[in-house]
Structure 1
Amino acid sequence: MIPVRGYKGANVAVLGLGRSGLVAARALSAGGANPICWDDNPAARETAESEGFTCRDLSKQGAFEGVAALIVSPGIPHLYPKPNPVVRAALEAGVPVDNDIGLFFRSVATPQWDNYEQPPRIIAVTGSNGKSTTVALLQHILESAGRESQLAGNIGRGVLDIDPPGDGGIVVLELSSYQTDLARALTPDIAVFTNLSPDHLDRHAGMGGYFAAKRRLFAEGGPDRAIIGIDEEEGLYLAGQLSEGNGDDRVIRLSNTRKLTGAGWNVFARKGFLSEYRKGKQAASIDLRAFTGLPGAHNHQNACAAYAAARCLGLAPRLIEGALETYPGLPHRSQIIGDAKGVRYVNDSKATNVDSAAKALGAFKKIRWICGGLEKDGGLDGLKGAAGNVTKAYVIGREAAQFAMQLDVEAEVCTTMERAVAKAAAEAEAGDTVLLAPAAASFDQYDSFEKRGEDFIAQVEKQLNAKSGA
């Protein structure tokens, strides 16, 4: 655990007692603070009280008297679409509002670091799509290289729940816009921006606010190295803001759509090959096409980001290449479930928005596409023209009929995962891929994208067992 520094003897309110909130309370206590906890869910309060924490209704008049700060869990809105009443009360009382990410960055460095031969390094990854794969891939590279490393944030453990990093240790963080938007301290050594596409727009009052939340990691943090995907206008703009000139190699530009050979430091992927260029000259090249854990151009972009971060740490290209080749992939992200009679089944339940689904559709040929769910802001217009590899769509979700009418491919309304998988499996031919890439949130039918993916896997296994006569 990372004991929180700076609040010894102070009362610190904690709103939201899920994973990050409860860990924040523990870390505050470990640092000598007095956590005052609240959650609207009685079961969450009961759990906190069973650990000895004080729970007090923070919505009551005068709740913030004598309170030094309010720590808010990521899912609780602090500004848009409107502030949570407790957050507003804290702001009215002049109490600073922060989150566990801010506490982590203000607390992780200790005087002990002065005695290390190599100070620990913090790598933070943000963006719309590919964050989880990028950090998991980077963690895999570091493990393959024998480097001490820990994975935390929006994936793995909560940031305050990790062990204090040792001499030369590396902490790899996945950070969502919910986390970067509020953190009062953001000081990574290396920061990565993968890409940007519409998502969480209600929470950030549109694309401008969404981009601003991501940009804070770079503008507030001032990382030593900034790795920026420049295939969208926002990334190109951000790279330009951070760079002092076209030869400034503190900014590493990434692309999976074009060759980058400028005077600075560039990493790009084209036609399945990753290339690194420095000062206009090629420094390395890796053939990604046969790496089964990284199918499609979107995963090649993730490989570029993880490769660039590993190079910033001084790892050799050949070592990185070996790790990329053995990367097994993450559950629910281009996860190959099985193959029967030439038909491949792929679970990409994490493709919860239009952009990520479009990228998944570009990674395979002859697709039997299972899609649908709770539509996000912006509709499905971004899928127009992206379904050229789709033979047929099988639409799930409570609003499956409305979803299907917006697609520019043949679509059958199936509603349930069971029916969609059964129909797709029955109609698939050798060479086809049955792909779950919903382009929508899961909450109309499932508690999470993981539950949706698990249902897909279960239904696929049922079909495979039936075909094998098991």
Structure 2
Amino acid sequence: MIPVQGFEGRVVAVLGLGRSGLSAARALREGGAVALCWDDNPAAREAAAAEGFELRELARAGGFDGVDRLVVSPGIPHLYPAPNAVVAAAWDAGVPVDNDIGLFFRSLGQGEWDMFDTPPRVVAVTGSNGKSTTSALIHHILTSSGRDSQLAGNIGRGVLDIDPPGDGGVVVLELSSYQTDLARALTPDVAVFTNLSPDHLDRHGGMGGYFAAKRRLFSEGGPDRCVIGVDEAEGRYLANQMSEGAADDRVIRVSSGTKLSGPGWDVFARKGFLTEWRKGRQVASIDLRQVRGLPGAHNHQNACAAYAAARALGVAPRVVEAAFMSFEGLPHRSQIVAEAGGVAYVNDSKATNVDAALKALQAFPKVRWICGGLMKEGGLGGLAPGFPNVVKAYVIGREAAGFALGLPGVEAEVCTDMETAVTRAIAEAQPGEVVLLAPAAASFDQYDNFEQRGDDFAAKVRAGLGG
């Protein structure tokens, strides 16, 4: 645990008692603060009370009397589409609002760091798609190379649950826009921006607010090194903002599909090969085509970002390459769950938006595509470049018929439920094809989360294949 620093003997309110909220309350108490807790869910309140935390309904009159800080869990809106009532009450009471990420950066440095030969480092990864894979891959590279590394944030453990890093240790954080938007302290040593595509727009008041939340990791944090995907205009803008010139190698530009060159530091993937280019010459190259855990151009972008972050930490190219080969990928992200009769079955349930689903479709030449769910804003038009790879679509979800109408030119069968879709896909799949779950939609119409949806797909595939 990272004890929260700076609030000894003071009262801090914690709103939302899920994983991050309850860990924040524990870390506050460990650091000598008094944590007042609240959650609208009675079961969450009971769990906090069982650990000895005092409960207070913060939205009531006088709820913030004596409170020095409010810590808000990431799932709770603080501005758009409307401020949570407790957050608004904190504003009115003049109480600063923060989250566990801000507490983490505020509290990370310990007195014993003065005795370390190599100070600990923090790598923070944000972006729309690929954050989890990139973060896990960086962590895998570091541990494979013998470095002490911990993975936390939006993946793995809560940021305040990890152990204080030791001499030369690295903390790898995946940070969502919800987390970067509110944190009052953001000071990573290496900051990574993967890409940007429309997502969570209601929560950020539009695309500009969404990008602004991501950008805070760089503009507020002042990282020593920035790894920035430049395949979208926002990434090119951010790289330009963080750089003092073309030769400024504090910014490592990353691309999947575009050759980058110049006097600075670039990492790009083209035709299945990753290339590192620095100071006007090629430094290293890796053949990604045989890396089983990183299929497709979108994963090659993840590989470039992870490679660049590892190089910024001093890991040698051949060490990174060896780690790539042993990386098995993450559940629900281009995860091969079965192979039978020349057909691969791939779970990409995390592809909850159009951009992620498009990248999954483009990773495989012949796809039997299981898609559908709770559609997001913006429609399905962005999927069109992937349609040539689709042999047939099997549409699930309560709005399956409407979803199918948004796939012009694609043979689509309305299946509604996962069992029907998987059964039909198994029956019709031919050798050399891929049965791919890439929903391009949220899961909440039929499942609690994308993990549950992916697990159901994997279970139905194994049952359908006889084991």
Q: TM-score range by the shorter chain?
A: over 0.9
Distance 2:49 2:89 in 1: 23
Distance 2:314 2:387 in 1: 40
Aligned position for 2:438: 437
Match of 2:276, SS?
strand
Aligned position for 2:365: 365
- 1:344 is displaced (CA, Å) by 1.0
**Cα RMSD (Å) of the superposition?**
0.6
Distance 2:380 2:205 in 1: 19
Aligned position for 2:451: 450
Aligned position for 2:271: 271
Aligned position for 1:189: 189
Distance 1:444 1:291 in 2: 35
- 1:365 is displaced (CA, Å) by 1.4
**CA-to-partner distance for each residue in 1:121-157, whole Å, 9 max, x for gaps?**
0000000000000011111111110100100000000
After superposition, where does 1:44-55 map in structure 2 within 5 Å? 44-55=44-55
Distance 1:381 1:202 in 2: 20
Letter in 2 for 1:402: G
- 1:16 is displaced (CA, Å) by 0.3
Aligned position for 2:386: 386
Aligned residues between the structures: 466
Letter in 2 for 1:239: A
Match of 2:259, SS?
coil
Distance 1:41 1:431 in 2: 48
Aligned position for 2:427: 426
Match of 2:192, SS?
strand
- 1:377 is displaced (CA, Å) by 1.4
Letter in 1 for 2:28: L
- 1:389 is displaced (CA, Å) by 0.5
Match of 2:459, SS?
helix
Letter in 1 for 2:392: K
Distance 1:324 1:430 in 2: 27
Letter in 2 for 1:295: P
Aligned position for 2:292: 292
Is it true that 1:161 corresponds to 2:153 in the alignment? Answer: no
Aligned position for 2:99: 99
Letter in 1 for 2:101: I
- 1:43 is displaced (CA, Å) by 0.6
- Of the structure 1 ranges 331-340 and 153-162, higher mean CA displacement relative to structure 2 is found in 331-340
Aligned position for 1:354: 354
After superposition, where does 1:35-434 map in structure 2 within 5 Å? 35-408=35-408, 409-434=410-435
Structure 2 unaligned blocks of 5 or more: none
Q: Kindly indicate whether the alpha-carbon contact (under 8 Å) linking 2:358 and 2:385 is maintained by their aligned counterparts in 1.
A: no
Match of 2:306, SS?
helix
Q: Kindly indicate whether the alpha-carbon contact (under 8 Å) linking 2:274 and 2:285 is maintained by their aligned counterparts in 1.
A: yes
- 1:13 is displaced (CA, Å) by 0.3
**CA-to-partner distance for each residue in 1:262-318, whole Å, 9 max, x for gaps?**
110000000000000001100000000011001000000000011001101111100
Match of 1:387, SS?
helix
Runs (4+) of structure 1 exceeding 4 A deviation are none
- 1:384 is displaced (CA, Å) by 1.9
Distance 2:210 2:443 in 1: 21
Match of 2:339, SS?
strand
Match of 1:184, SS?
coil
Distance 2:303 2:192 in 1: 12
- 1:65 is displaced (CA, Å) by 1.2
Distance 1:246 1:407 in 2: 43
Q: Kindly indicate whether the alpha-carbon contact (under 8 Å) linking 2:373 and 2:442 is maintained by their aligned counterparts in 1.
A: yes
Letter in 2 for 1:108: L
Distance 1:295 1:212 in 2: 30
Distance 1:59 1:173 in 2: 32
Distance 1:238 1:211 in 2: 10
Distance 2:257 2:202 in 1: 29
- 1:195 is displaced (CA, Å) by 0.2
Match of 1:255, SS?
strand
- 1:386 is displaced (CA, Å) by 2.0
- 1:385 is displaced (CA, Å) by 2.5
Distance 1:384 1:169 in 2: 44
Match of 2:345, SS?
strand
Distance 2:46 2:389 in 1: 51
Distance 1:387 1:182 in 2: 38
Match of 1:460, SS?
helix
Match of 2:160, SS?
helix
Q: Kindly indicate whether the alpha-carbon contact (under 8 Å) linking 2:228 and 2:251 is maintained by their aligned counterparts in 1.
A: yes
Q: Kindly indicate whether the alpha-carbon contact (under 8 Å) linking 2:257 and 2:271 is maintained by their aligned counterparts in 1.
A: no
Distance 2:389 2:4 in 1: 51
Q: Kindly indicate whether the alpha-carbon contact (under 8 Å) linking 2:129 and 2:196 is maintained by their aligned counterparts in 1.
A: yes
Distance 1:232 1:332 in 2: 25
Distance 1:390 1:322 in 2: 33
- 1:380 is displaced (CA, Å) by 1.0
- 1:382 is displaced (CA, Å) by 1.0
Percent of residue pairs bearing the same amino acid type: 73
Letter in 1 for 2:23: V
Distance 1:262 1:62 in 2: 60
Q: Kindly indicate whether the alpha-carbon contact (under 8 Å) linking 2:369 and 2:390 is maintained by their aligned counterparts in 1.
A: yes
Match of 1:275, SS?
strand
Match of 2:338, SS?
strand
**CA-to-partner distance for each residue in 1:191-248, whole Å, 9 max, x for gaps?**
0000000000000011000000000000000000000000000000000000000000
Distance 1:41 1:385 in 2: 43
Distance 2:216 2:142 in 1: 26
Distance 1:9 1:349 in 2: 45
What TM-score, normalized to structure 2?
0.99
Distance 2:233 2:387 in 1: 23
Letter in 1 for 2:106: R
Letter in 2 for 1:443: F
Letter in 1 for 2:412: A
Distance 2:297 2:418 in 1: 27
Q: Kindly indicate whether the alpha-carbon contact (under 8 Å) linking 2:124 and 2:191 is maintained by their aligned counterparts in 1.
A: yes
- 1:387 is displaced (CA, Å) by 1.6
